[in-house]
A = this chain, B = another copy of it.
Amino acid sequence: MAPNRPTIKDVAALAGVSKSLVSLAMRGSDRVSAESRASIIEAATQLGYRPNAAARSLADRRSHTLGVVVLDLLNPIYAEIIDGVQGEVRQHGYHTMLVTGNDNPVIEQGEVEKLLDFQVEGLVLIGHRMPAGSLDAIGGDCPAVVISRAERGIAGLDSISNDDVSGARMAVDHLVSLGHRSIAHVTGGGNEVAMLRKLGYEQSMTEHGLADQTACYDGAFTDEGGYRGAAAALDSGRGHTALFVANDIAAVGALAAVADRGLDVPTDISIVGYDGMALAGLRSLSITTIAQPLARIGTEGARLLFLRIGDPTRPPAHIGVEPRLIIRNSSGPCHT
């Protein structure tokens, strides 16, 4: 419609001042007289002037933009983390470019490249799936923070994650305090996070003198995986009275496995999940869980990134946040 977007020059001409002054005024400098400022604003609104972000970032060599890469938007816990990140970023007056990897390393890599082309000033990686090599390369190119994966050993990258080992122990402690002894673990597969949760489970069982009761069943971080693992546990004949399931989604699957066998939760079987996704709190599910402070992980992650942007030489930090137990209706006293 409009033949062409008005530029700073058009505004200057209409207001009868130089383009430099318009530039100052637009950025709210106090070296502009009230009079000039008024006529500039007048002219700008009249023309519908809109600063060109590309030109701006070219000229001052800063994009005022952060890139956020998330493994997979469909996972509700990532969505909650993102909300935290975005809030913090907004407060700093930065803009956010959010992209998904679609759970696909190749796409993820490509998206990251694009973000770097855009000269983002920093990168937030949420649950990434990149080989350590590329991660290193990124770290060299651009400040970055890794959320939700403890990247020990990756030099130069800040990271933040919850303490999975200690969280898993909380789950076991809770079940033990309810009188359970035969507590099985449905795992989340072979990934790093799942391994840590398994480790915490084993440690805590041993500490409670229940080493001989330890039993792990293969699962995954999915509904299906939880169902499979729980089914194996229930059919094992070992008389488990409680299940610590590696994450909330899988716990939902476990719930179904229990129901399919005509058993009741929590009367016959107690279930504890992990993550604290909002969904697990819905009344029909009401799953006891180890909740990560998701929004806080997001905001702290962003804060970490801003610190590094402010001082690129500071030593890489890892922040660990403590998860907390949320007791709902899927866990109850042991009746055997």
Q: Which residues of B contact A279 (CB under 8 A)?
A: 279
> Which A248-286 residues sit within 8 Å CB-CB of chain B?
249, 252-253, 255-256, 259, 278-279, 282-285
**Interface majority SS (helix, strand, loop, mixed), chain A:** helix
Q: Are B253 and A284 in contact (CB under 8 A)?
A: yes
Q: Which residues of B contact A73 (CB under 8 A)?
A: 73, 79, 82-83
Shortest Cβ distance from residue A46 to the other chain B in the assembled complex, whole angstroms: 15
Q: Which residues of B contact A83 (CB under 8 A)?
A: 73-74, 100, 102
> Which A314-329 residues sit within 8 Å CB-CB of chain B?
none
Q: How far is the CA of A24 from the CA of B264 in the complex (A)?
A: 68
Q: How far is the CA of A102 from the CA of B87 in the complex (A)?
A: 9
User: Could you list 5 examples of A-B contacts with CB < 8 Å?
Assistant: A53-B117, A83-B100, A86-B99, A95-B118, A253-B283
Q: Which residues of B contact A9 (CB under 8 A)?
A: none
**CB 8 Å contact bits of A75-107 with B (1 = contact, 0 = none):** 010011011001100100001111110100001
Q: Which residues of B contact A256 (CB under 8 A)?
A: 282-284
Q: Are B117 and A50 in contact (CB under 8 A)?
A: yes
**CB 8 Å contact bits of A15-56 with B (1 = contact, 0 = none):** 000000000000000000000000000000000001111110
Q: Are B252 and A284 in contact (CB under 8 A)?
A: yes
**CB 8 Å contact bits of A54-66 with B (1 = contact, 0 = none):** 1101100001000
Shortest Cβ distance from residue A298 to the other chain B in the assembled complex, whole angstroms: 11
Q: Which residues of B contact A98 (CB under 8 A)?
A: 97-99
Q: Are A119 and B53 in contact (CB under 8 A)?
A: yes
Complex: chain B residue closest to A48, CB-CB: B141
With A54-B55, A90-B107, A259-B284 given, name 11 new contacts (CB 8 A).
A53-B54, A54-B58, A73-B82, A83-B100, A83-B102, A86-B100, A97-B97, A223-B282, A252-B282, A256-B282, A256-B283
- Counting every copy of the chain, the complex holds 2
Shortest Cβ distance from residue A38 to the other chain B in the assembled complex, whole angstroms: 22
Q: Which residues of B contact A95 (CB under 8 A)?
A: 114, 118
Q: How far is the CA of A278 from the CA of B76 in the complex (A)?
A: 11
Residues of A within 8 A of B (CB): 1, 50-55, 57-58, 63, 73-74, 76, 79-80, 82-83, 86-87, 90, 95-100, 102, 107, 114, 116-119, 140, 223, 227, 249, 252-253, 255-256, 259, 278-279, 282-285
Query: Which one of B57, B76, B80, B116 contacts A50 once the chains associate, using CB atoms below 8 Å?
Result: B116
Q: Which residues of B contact A102 (CB under 8 A)?
A: 83, 86-87
Complex: chain B residue closest to A253, CB-CB: B283
Q: Which residues of B contact A285 (CB under 8 A)?
A: 252, 284-285
Complex: chain B residue closest to A117, CB-CB: B53
Shortest Cβ distance from residue A236 to the other chain B in the assembled complex, whole angstroms: 20
Query: Which one of B57, B96, B118, B252 contacts A99 once the chains associate, using CB atoms below 8 Å?
Result: B96
Q: Are B140 and A1 in contact (CB under 8 A)?
A: yes
Q: Are A79 and B86 in contact (CB under 8 A)?
A: no
Q: Are B55 and A223 in contact (CB under 8 A)?
A: no
